[in-house]
Structure 1
């Protein structure tokens, strides 16, 4: 694929500059922004997540026959495109791709809203759709993909480049800040991937793209998009310039009301596809709490816990960067192989840390909230809440608690979650968690080795 040059200034800049990250001081909770979480998931999911969930399809025309495919050959792709798919290591369509691809490739074109978590093949699906619909003989932009940040747009572009590497006549351009734009000069690149502000400028201010000639419009990471200032309105302004017969494809990791309301404004008469979420279950996770008198006592309890539990790998969550740094240093002094993950790190650095942990280079991962979601490491058997998760009001953050302890007990295996409690406020939070999930959390005395061995069997 031929690629429009990106300036050196763009490539050399800080890759997190436009990610919408918030720099919190050590006294505050460390929470990654949605765009950073999404990018992190894209970086660490180098292969498709094995997902047994069923696909739910709601068709715009219920009388239309429902098609799904089990092989890429059934899609009757161009040979060079099929070769590109296989070269990326895709042997068969994922669950979401089985139903989404026939709809995206159908004639006449059909609109689609697809919801599925990271790692299930959404990006590859709509990239394949764009590459399939391009007519290289037409020297103008035919496919437009909008993502909320530079980094996410670049990730999508790289998938297009890899998948289309045997399609030399198909050209790609990046509409992101820093890319050269010449007023009045029409782009000849067939596919444009970019951020809303720059794409809007290229369509209206610089007239580089004729929106009426766009046949496919993709909105990626819709849940992130609508939470970033200005992006929602810019996306809607782009959409309004497109022709009525342009195919609209909207992808989102969540399906909240805000996403649905946004989708209704952008995607008329859509087919809707989503993976049915697995029941969030705590059945395979034993939960305990340990009463402590401060951080040093918490640390001693943690060391006692290690003494009687055969642990493959552990994730320990802290509320602040300062506490996480202290704990990681203390554990390292005790001889443990420790990795540290916090929001002050760039996203690619976080991805590298997670990759080392996944490969077993470190056995303990100390983290703030930045990795409570989306990381599936089969070897994790213990999660420790060194600090209980709380919201801005100081009440239990039940959703974060579930995501945290869900790092253990993955794939049906048994896991353990231990909560460190060192104040009356912590006990109130623990009771709130018990009431919310309707489960008793067992008290654990880490100084009583026999009791621990009985409970942790």
Structure 2
């Protein structure tokens, strides 16, 4: 039986797909076929997959930490207990080799989430934590630093465990931990992901295990018995909202937590927390500090919002071509509700000689990363997509977003968070942007709900009037 995949401060080659391969795959399959679904919902993005993939895309594409201007809200069971924060890594009493790792990774000072989380994560006795933080704000570095601070590399058995919802995300976390711990002697990391096998009844010698729930649980079960949950000092659940929303993963997480020693430090990190999820998290994490972000809608003040009445695909497409024919647009994103609509728009634009790229769930994560990289570098000016990029994928310098279809949920009501994420791709970093919504008789009511929810004006636009179109960017 083969040994587990182990990271020992060695470099990995990043998986890359060429633009040519992506184009070939689009021509061969993406524009030709739909995946099947027994409930005949193949035209919708798979929500669990989309959110996990979006997080991975963010990690793959991130070139810098983002400044999150949202206010942080801290909740404690004992409000009189001290709450610490730090402005410098040097104030955390870290091991010198960990400071070296941080500097080598380009960290110069803690991000906002790190300022509050790290002093509490590194305190003694260990403090449990539930934290909400977007990808790109340093959350992975925060829990990686906490894990590496708690382990003893002279002890050759697993002491820290980190779970992620997908093997790709687990690989990204492994890379961060490896880079951060590159100066730690004898550090070894085991990747508990699908396909990696371990001998039965032989205890792992790696101090850190990073993997997906199913494989991790299998390794810890009496059948494999590769490590003991009772010996763990730290347990991390990343992308907790995605993990907990998946029933199978949720059950495994509960079983793992039940097997942990009472003094094991537990951390849950997530980009978003809906109320049912946060309540579940409180049940499995004893006496935690909870760090949440207060929603900031300040960015909407930098976005001019319009709507255009369109009663069919053809009228929407004519409005689209009129707008792009009269406006000087830097980069734009066009959101469609289904893969089919997105493909139809791409086909029509391509036939009319308009350069554009398709981004949807039909591409695998690495292909999507390549498309977004081209868009970010300015090699592609127009992106036609489904909700796959609405979940926190940030591309700078977008000055126009068009909702070819409004984001409508299965209950027929508008999805306010998705709408905010979509139009939030423009009007970033203090720049002004434009968002245009195509609506028909059936969705006009949803637009009214969006207007009331956000309290920002959405003006009517006549897409056949050149003067009106030219004025929207003034």
Task: Normalising by structure 2, report the TM-score.
Answer: 0.86
| Map of 1:447 onto structure 2 | 464
Q: 1:150 to 1:71 in 2, by over 3 A?
A: same
Specify whether residues 437 and 129 from structure 1 end up closer, same or farther in structure 2 by C-alpha distance, changes over 3 A only.
Answer: closer
Contact 2:43/2:340 (8 A) holds in 1: no
Query: Cα gap change, 1:390/1:60 in structure 2, threshold over 3 Å: closer, same or farther?
Result: closer
| Per-residue deviation, residues 270-322 of structure 1 (Å, max 9, x unmatched) | 11223333236532222222233533332232222123322211110112222
**Equivalent-residue separation in structure 2 for 1:245 and 1:429 (angstroms):** 50
Among 58, 62, 65, the alignment partner of 1:48 is: 65
Instruction: Select which of 240, 243, 246 maps to 2:261.
Output: 243
Task: State whether structure 2 residue 337 is matched by structure 1 residue 337.
Answer: no
Question: 8 Å contact 2:85–2:116 — kept in the other structure?
Answer: yes
- Confirm whether residue 264 of structure 1 aligns to residue 282 of structure 2: yes
1:165 and 2:186 aligned: no
Which runs of 5 or more residues in structure 1 are unaligned?
16-21
Q: Is the 8 A contact 1:383 1:407 kept in 2?
A: yes
Distance 1:196 1:189 in 2: 18
Pair 1:232-2:232 in alignment: no
Query: Counterpart of 1:398?
Result: 416
Q: 1:284 aligns with which of 265, 283, 302?
A: 302
Q: Tell me which of 118, 129, 134 is aligned to 2:146.
A: 129
Instruction: Tell me by how many angstroms 1:265 deviates.
Output: 2.2
Structure 2 residue matching 1:226: 3-state secondary structure: helix
1:31 CA drift (Å): 4.6
Distance 1:288 1:334 in 2: 25
SS at match of 1:218: strand
Number of residue pairs matched by the alignment: 443
| CA distance in structure 1 between the partners assigned to 2:47 and 2:271 by the alignment | 16
Q: After superposition, where does 1:273-422 map in structure 2 within 5 Å?
A: 273-279=291-297, 282-421=300-439
Matched residues in 2 for 1:235 and 1:426: separation? 40
Distance 1:335 1:428 in 2: 35
Structure 1 distance, partners of 2:339, 2:62, is 25
Instruction: Identify the range of structure 1 (179-188 vs 24-33) with the bigger mean alpha-carbon deviation.
Output: 24-33
Structure 1 residue 191 displacement after superposition: 0.6
Structure 2 distance, partners of 1:23, 1:85, is 46
Distance 2:459 2:88 in 1: 48
Q: Counterparts of 1:273 and 1:358 in 2: how far apart (Å)?
A: 31
- What CA distance in whole angstroms lies between the structure 2 residues aligned with 1:152 and 1:251? 13
Q: Which residue of 1 aligns with 2:234?
A: 216
Q: 1:204 to 1:454 in 2, by over 3 A?
A: closer
Q: Would the aligned equivalents of 1:26 and 1:322 in 2 still touch at CA under 8 Å?
A: no
- Equivalent residue of 2:236, what SS? strand
SS of the equivalent of 1:235 reads helix
CA apart distance, 1:192: 0.7
Question: Residues 174-202 of structure 1, C-alpha deviation per residue, up to 9 Å, x if partnerless?
Answer: 12222112221111110111222222222
Q: Which deviates the most, 143-152 or 295-304?
A: 295-304
In the other structure, the counterpart of 2:22 is: none
* Deviation per residue, 1:415-450 (Å, 9 max, x gap): 1111223x4223343334334444453222222212
Q: Is the 8 A contact 1:111 1:269 kept in 2?
A: yes
SS of aligned partner of 1:212: helix
Higher mean Cα deviation, 183-192 or 27-36?
A: 27-36
**Larger deviation: 293-302 or 259-268?**
293-302
Equivalence for 1:140: 157
8 Å contact 1:286–1:415 — kept in the other structure? yes
Rounded Cα–Cα distance in structure 2 between residues aligned with 1:151 and 1:331: 33
Q: Which of 93, 97, 104 pairs up with 1:80?
A: 97
CA contact (8 A) 2:57 2:393 kept: no
Is residue 104–residue 129 contact of structure 1 (8 Å, CA) maintained in 2? yes
* Structure 2 residue 53 is matched with structure 1 residue 36: yes
Change in Cα spacing, 1:216 to 1:30, as seen in structure 2 (3 Å) is closer
Name 1:252's counterpart in structure 2: 270
SS state of the match for residue 430, structure 1? helix
1:254-278 deviation line (CA, Å, top 9, x unaligned): 2222222222222111112233332
Kindly indicate whether the alpha-carbon contact (under 8 Å) linking 1:58 and 1:271 is maintained by their aligned counterparts in 2.
yes
Q: Is the counterpart of residue 197 in structure 1 residue 203 in structure 2?
A: no
**Aligned mates of 2:142, 2:115 — CA distance in 1:** 9
> Given the alignment of the two structures, is residue 118 of structure 1 paired with residue 135 of structure 2, yes or no?
yes
Instruction: Determine the C-alpha separation between the residues in 1 that align with 2:208 and 2:253.
Output: 17
